[in-house]
Structure 1
């Protein structure tokens, strides 16, 4: 398999000339260098202060998987509004409950622009979520009606995240950092019942930058125990597609950067037994390194159609089967492995 090379992560994403450093990194950058970024408009003039503020977008997501439950937590800042959700999926009952937040114009929430340190939070007296990053290690706090959590996400020894930056649109850029197959440690209580974390796994997503005004992506994610050990997977098509992509496979903490993949699926649903169902997805690469099917069983979805903003968001929970070939030529089989996919359109 063709090896994709990565470079040492710069301290600051921006060069001394205010240009972003593109490519794959062997760890997080400390600063995105937002103030140093030499941002130009479509006519090659310096962007206004308002454009610099409004055109920067950021979101963070954490997925925690236990033998009984799946938890998804996200905070997004799209400047006009801040949004967040926290859902709880009961695997055996196939039920999903959630708490959501919406805050206007930068009020009542915060996100950190550093992938190495800082705090992101949203919520109020009755329910709240927060991510705290210290030295690149993520800690998650959740306080909702059904979930209480204080959890640190610990990577295996010497395991590298997927960290990269790619050009976006005419003069923008997107920095993405993700790490799956992490081991949660701490306390998790669901519906008043303490949950053991010895078999739990987790992953995080930090994405930020000057993204396209109108964009979309497809995404796949796995945190699972298999016969080969602990598997983490992140596959995507959409935002990061100019010269490099964010596709990566972890096996027992070892990172394997992958080439581009295709997502074949139908957005239309059919009725079955009084419920809407969706056909299986096929996710594959042209070089034969990835060949997966995904069968959805539940979905967290949200649609927003406003004057300036549009969002059509669907995150599916379901089961993967197929195989992934790592960069040493080893074939890893998946058989009904629980994971996520996502289909998202945004105008922001």
Structure 2
């Protein structure tokens, strides 16, 4: 063990009961890890102030609220990634289909102005998010915290229910953001998938398909960036899920979590070490994702990339999501080590000004 590392000992991080309303009677956000989705974000009750401690204007309260939702579906032959986002000035979405064997990625995207042609769910417990047009339709329906995904684009016909293992907990949390904002994030990986999935007119059996979702919303920083890693995989140990991030959601608690056969382990802070890609033609070299105490020690080798750069004056986005393979070790909160060998997953490097 390197001299600067503090030896890690098994530890069980806990979560509290999810509040019905994320905003309390004082107009303040409730912070911490929760054991399930919050019923109501209650943004109308939030007392939002500017940098000089004055009540923020109605325009600021409206335009400073952002939200996005993402689903990853992994089959033995394909990876599907689909996202919807509302950054107030515009609504956007993308969907990609990655052929694992051929290492080929097809993608499409949508961009809609000022709330027209799309909708987002205001609650992580109940609601619908949808965008549609000539390129097809993407829809996420949430009912009592359970996700249903409908896709009709890129040769994909899907109507899928994402189902956790019995008693499995999502990673749900809220942290302060910037001077007076907050961010609510909920993620659940390694979920069972039921329903219908047809790709290029071929029905896909679902017995070995797994998925994960991300619901994030809040009064986020005007300028932000993050690094992220995600796994939804079937391994010899069973259904393995992983969510790791750095750059956001680290003020008080973080969003790092590991699931095995539905059992959730909340993890400590991690570092992402890599050389940023500068040209569209090149993939970066191997990433290292690790924690100071050795609980997480992974390498990631990119194979392909979905990327987009937008420079629209008020808003900017430099987005790269990589598909590739993880190798290394994760130690769960009971001290058991789990070896990852060429496990397919995602990483992301993103700068946003919104």
TM-score computed with the length of structure 1 as normaliser? 0.98
Distance 1:330 1:226 in 2: 16
2:99 is aligned, of 82, 90, 98, to 90
Q: How does 1:152-171 map to 2 (within 5 A)?
A: 152-171=161-180
| 2:107–2:154 CA contact under 8 A, matched in 1 | no
The answer for the alignment partner of 1:306 in structure 2 is 312
Say yes or no: does 1:324 pair with 2:333: no
The answer for the alignment partner of 1:61 in structure 2 is 70
Alpha-carbon deviations, 1:46-90, whole Å to 9, x = none? 110000000000000000000000000000000000000010000
| 2:137–2:153 CA contact under 8 A, matched in 1 | yes
1:7 is aligned, of 16, 20, 28, to 16
Q: How does 1:1-348 map to 2 (within 5 A)?
A: 1-124=10-133, 126-268=135-277, 276-348=282-354
Structure 1 residue runs of 5 or longer lacking an equivalent are: none
Distance 1:161 1:268 in 2: 32
Alpha-carbon deviations, 1:145-195, whole Å to 9, x = none? 411100000000000000000000000000000000101100000011111
Distance 1:76 1:173 in 2: 17
Question: How far is the alpha carbon of 1:338 from its aligned partner?
Answer: 0.2
Question: How far is the alpha carbon of 1:125 from its aligned partner?
Answer: 5.0
Question: Bigger shift: 82-91 or 124-133?
Answer: 124-133
Distance 1:173 1:226 in 2: 36
| 2:95–2:107 CA contact under 8 A, matched in 1 | yes
Question: How far is the alpha carbon of 1:217 from its aligned partner?
Answer: 0.3
Q: Matched residue of 2:192: which SS?
A: strand
TM-score computed with the length of structure 2 as normaliser? 0.96
Distance 1:107 1:300 in 2: 25
Q: Matched residue of 1:276: which SS?
A: coil
Distance 2:122 2:273 in 1: 34
Alpha-carbon deviations, 1:244-301, whole Å to 9, x = none? 1000000100000000000000013689xxx523200000001110000000000000
Question: Bigger shift: 324-333 or 260-269?
Answer: 260-269
Question: How far is the alpha carbon of 1:123 from its aligned partner?
Answer: 1.1
Q: Matched residue of 2:220: which SS?
A: coil
| 1:74–1:84 CA contact under 8 A, matched in 2 | yes
Distance 1:268 1:60 in 2: 25
| 1:222–1:234 CA contact under 8 A, matched in 2 | yes
| 1:166–1:174 CA contact under 8 A, matched in 2 | yes
Alpha-carbon deviations, 1:285-325, whole Å to 9, x = none? 01110000000000000000121111000000000000100
Q: Matched residue of 1:35: which SS?
A: helix
Q: Matched residue of 1:277: which SS?
A: coil
The answer for the alignment partner of 2:7 in structure 1 is none
Distance 2:31 2:82 in 1: 28
Distance 1:145 1:293 in 2: 31
| 1:58–1:208 CA contact under 8 A, matched in 2 | yes
Question: How far is the alpha carbon of 1:124 from its aligned partner?
Answer: 1.9
Q: Aligned-residue CA RMSD in angstroms?
A: 1.1
Moved over 6 A (4+): none
